[in-house]
Structure 1
Amino acid sequence: MAFGDLVKRHFVDTRPLGVPAYRRIWLGQAVSNIGVHVTVIAVGQQVFELTRSSFHVGLIGMANLIPLIVFGLWGGAIADAVDRRRLLIAGSLVAWAATLFIFVQALLGMDNVWLILLAVAVNSTGFAITGPTRGAIIPRILDAELVPSANALNSLIYSLSAVIGPMIGAVAMTTGGFATAYALDAVLFTASLYAALRLPALPPLGVVTRPGLRSVIDGLSFIARSPVLLMSFVVDIIAMVLAMPRALFPELTAERFGGSELALGWMTSAMGIGSVAGALFSGWVGRVKRQGVALSIIIAVWGLAVAGAGLVHDLWLVVLLMAVGGVADVISSVWRQSILQLYAPDEMRGRLQGVFMVVVSGGPRLGELRAGATATAFGLTGAWVGGGLACTVTVLIVGLSVAGFRNYRAR
């Protein structure tokens, strides 16, 4: 096989970038996501400096999560009833306004933690609207065969921004303070807004349901009646709730690596490094047709990688195994998103993307709660390794026992 053919088969598939509308969305997200992660690190540091309280820093997570749950479901329902281009622009403006407010409060030295948390919640509201909307737009502007490749490209830029953004944020805070970091985010966000403005009109297709509680319930009912969709959510919840070890990183660092901040940094970055590698070499992912079986297996690999990382005592092995977990996680994400986008009819895609956002955002947080509680009851190793093994066993039993999911083939 020629080198060029080998690259095409295994390296990330860039064909979706040949579609101008998607290319602009992708580039806009690539730029703006860096700014988002700049603000994430800056907000946490600013709140801690104002309060000297980790509890208040933890409240940032709640300020993000509650709007994501409420407006993720509602925003998805709206995305099925209105022009998705207009909704994407409106949600982007909400998020941008919140970023500008965070910048202004830092510039004026308001030093009010509750104003910061309010701005974070408003920003999260904008994201809860744009996330499902953008996910529902992808199948409208790309051929079905390109959707998995587009999701891999999206995962690549998200993973890269998660590595690059905090580094840039740290430099911005050091050289110019919090206002500089927030200003950088506000400027970078314009790339995403520009991409939304350049989209064509995307009016709803099929039967239009008035957005509200009834339409949200209809979306949830559709998932409940669709074994393939339901199981795509279930296996993700299994992966994150049973095996996410992030809350245990500080304790593992203290017990095995002398509390080294460098060791903690490597562990924290390991999954992101793996996700970047997995996305870069994802050319084969779109060719997998039996995605239900493949999804169950790759999540089982995630669980085994996590369990292995909890057993070893060399930092490089912990990082390597968590990076393997990151590879499995990003591949899982591509398949779950592709199943959701292609299996559902267009008039349901916005609502289902909203549910997807809630699960993706809430699952890791529940996993951190599970990890902390089980570590208290069974110790660090029991919580870490037991969670990974429980994930592997559970996902194989549950994922492969549902015939519709087991036999599902990508359309």
Structure 2
Amino acid sequence: MSSSPVAAFAPLRHSAFRALWIANLASNTGLWIQNTGAGWMMTSLAPSPVMVSLVQAAAMLPVFLFALPGGALADVLDRRATLIAAQVWIAAAGLLLAVLAALGLLGAWGLLVLTFAIGMGTAVIFPASAAATPELVLHDDLVQAVALNGVGFNLARALGPALGGFVMAAAGLTAAFALNAVGFLALLWALITWRRPAQRRSHLPPARLPSAVRAGLRFAIAVPAMRAAILRACAFFFFASAVWALMPLVIREGLGLDPAAFGLMLGVAGFGAVAAGTVLPMIRDRLSQGRLVFFAALLAYAAMALLGLSRHWAPAAVAVLIFGAAWLAAGSALGAAAQMTAPAWVRARALGVYHLAFFGALAVGSLLWGWVGTKMGVPTALALCAGSGAVAAVAVRPWRLVNFAQDMAQRVKARWDRAAATMPTPEAPASALKELLHNNSGRV
């Protein structure tokens, strides 16, 4: 596959991947509409930095708590059925959120509880969906399929907040929450119509959930490449969470803008991520996964510092554009490293551990930087986070991101080459067999 912008979209030639990718785009667009509405609504219900940052924490904390059990369920049970059940739960919580908002019964803590409930569903969706990706594309397309999933998520981030801001301005928060529920129903229909390839039946007894969870933890701890991906994900997302947690206050109080501008600003971040996704194949030809994550992290922290210093929408837009591109580059490289390290039998559980660390870092980081913003001010919090994040990026750089599957393939090839070099040269065949034993007959 050539490394060009066109190659970035090569996985879409697989019909099953394409259908679910489009449905995920609709669902994630609705999710970002809901996140935009929830974040903005909290600035009216309880406008302190801590309460506003709790909106993101409520969305991310369930993944920290339930990603590993959810991944174990996706390995033990049928992944398609697990995804459908989780999507039904999310759609029901989204409909309840819209109904309560329409009746005027939604307070600050009710908003957080329902956001948490939606996050419980995503805790199962993320590892199960990631583990199903290798079933949808060829192995050669897997790395870019992971990146393309990130592009779709960030394209939704570009469309959802902008659409959510305009919907809130035109029709109110209830309409924004209702659109979120419709997006979840679109993905539910795509999952119902997906015909998963028949899986080979195992003769082993069915695994129990506690033992399956323990096996996933043991794998994540034992494999160096997985440990490195988890550690570096924690180091990046813990500090990067400050931008998403504090951006509503940056837009409303620092820049004095309205909900539509908030949605557009998040859309700019999503556009930066989409642009980065199209050039990632060319970047990967020049940088290893570890170097890509390192430089993307430094770029993200520089953009964070610029956002904290901005007092006009123009430099702030440049900052979020750069941050969105760096977020996608680092996140897709880390996700691909984790996904390609895990074999099929434990993939959902291993990715559950990865998502546990990923979203746990986001949730804890959101709370911490929201508290720092309350004590020291939002600009100071962003500047402090950018500086400490750069130090952390340097500190974790020695933990190398290695593609375990490729590493094993290289070891096997090296062993075969050594064995082939020591093979004895066969004697010349008897004259009566020369017609049968020739150069095209191969070795025995």
Q: TM-score, normalised on structure 2?
A: 0.76
The aligned residue for residue 273 of structure 2 is 275
Q: Does 1:31 align with 2:18?
A: no
Q: In the superposition, relative to structure 1, how do residues 390 and 233 fare at CA in structure 2: closer, same or farther (>3 Å)?
A: same
* C-alpha distance after superposition, 1:255-307 (max 9, x if no partner): xx964327977765553332122123333256468323433343334334445
Q: Which residue of the partner structure matches residue 260 of structure 1?
A: 256
Q: Contact 1:290/1:408 (CA < 8 Å) preserved in 2?
A: no
CA gap of 1:198–1:123, structure 2 versus 1, over 3 A, is same
Cα distance in structure 2, aligned partners of 1:339 and 1:45: 35
Q: 2:225: which partner in 1? A: 228
Q: Equivalent residue of 1:281, what SS?
A: helix
Deviations 1:43-99 (A, max 9, x none): 4455665x4554665554454334222222211111111111111111111111112
Q: Are residues 1:359 and 2:354 paired? A: no
Closer/same/farther in 2, CA of residues 364 and 204 from structure 1, 3 Å limit? farther
Aligned residue in 2 for 1:332: 330
Match in the other structure for 2:430:
none
Give the distance between the partners of 2:264 and 2:401, measured in 1 at CA: 36
- Letter matched to residue 333 of structure 1: G
Separation in 1 of the partners of 2:228 and 2:62? Answer: 25
Distance 2:255 2:287 in 1: 45
Say if 1:395 and 1:126 are closer, same or farther in 2 by CA, change over 3 A.
same
Quickly say closer, same or farther: Cα 1:14–1:205, change in 2 above 3 A. Answer: farther
Kindly state the Cα deviation for residue 133 of structure 1 after the two structures are TM-superposed.
0.7
Q: Could you tell me which amino acid in structure 2 is paired with residue 278 of structure 1?
A: A
Cα offset, 1:28, TM superposition = 0.1
In 2 relative to 1, CA 177–213 (structure 1 residues): closer, same or farther, beyond 3 Å?
Answer: same
User: Match for 1:273: what amino acid?
Assistant: F
> Contact 2:239–2:385 (CA<8 Å) still a contact in 1?
yes
Q: Could you list the runs of 5+ residues in structure 2 that have no partner in the other structure?
A: 408-444
**Which protein shows a greater Rg?**
2
How many Å separate the matches in 2 of 1:104 and 1:378? Answer: 38
Q: Report the identity percentage.
A: 25
CA–CA distance in structure 2, aligned partners of residues 253 and 16 of structure 1: 37
Alpha-carbon shift at residue 181 of structure 1 (Å): 2.6
How big is the shift at 1:9? 1.1
Measured in 1, the distance between the counterparts of 2:254 and 2:175 equals: 34
CA distance in structure 2 between the partners assigned to 1:385 and 1:63 by the alignment? 24
**Amino acid in structure 1 at the alignment position of 2:256:** S
Deviation at 1:157, TM superposition (A): 2.1
Work out the CA distance in 1 between the residues paired with 2:250 and 2:124: 37
Deviation at 1:138, TM superposition (A): 0.2
Q: Which amino acid aligns with 1:300?
A: L
Alpha carbons 1:238, 1:394 under 8 Å: kept: yes
Partner of 2:157: 162
**Unpaired segments of 5 or more residues in structure 1?**
none
Aligned equivalents of 1:181 and 1:322: distance in 2?
A: 23
Are residues 205 and 132 of structure 1, via their aligned partners in 2, closer, same or farther at CA, if it must alter by over 3 Å?
farther
CA contact (8 A) 2:242 2:366 kept: yes
SS at match of 2:396: helix
Which amino acid is the alignment partner of residue 281 of structure 1? V
Partner of 2:211: 214
Does the residue aligned with 2:27 lie in a helix, a strand or coil?
Answer: helix
- SS of aligned partner of 2:35: helix
2:385 pairs with 1:395 = no
Cα distance in 2 between the residues matched to 1:44 and 1:306: 19
Equivalence map 1:56-135=2 (5 Å):
59-111=54-106, 115-135=110-130
Deviations 1:99-119 (A, max 9, x none): 222233344454465554443
Task: Report the Cα distance in structure 2 between the residues aligned to 1:303 and 1:185, rounded to whole angstroms.
Answer: 31
**Structure 1: how far apart are the matches of 2:393 and 2:201?**
35
Q: Is 1:343 the equivalent of 2:341? A: yes
Aligned counterparts of 2:324 and 2:343: Cα–Cα separation in 1? 30
Structure 2 distance, partners of 1:117, 1:318, is 28
Alpha-carbon separation, structure 1, partners of 2:96 and 2:341? 39
The alpha-carbon distance between structure 1 residues 363 and 205, as it changes in their structure 2 partners (threshold 3 A), is: farther
1-structure distance, mates of 2:251, 2:168: 26
Q: Provide closer, same or farther for how the CA distance between residues 222 and 204 of structure 1 changes in structure 2, counting only shifts above 3 A.
A: farther
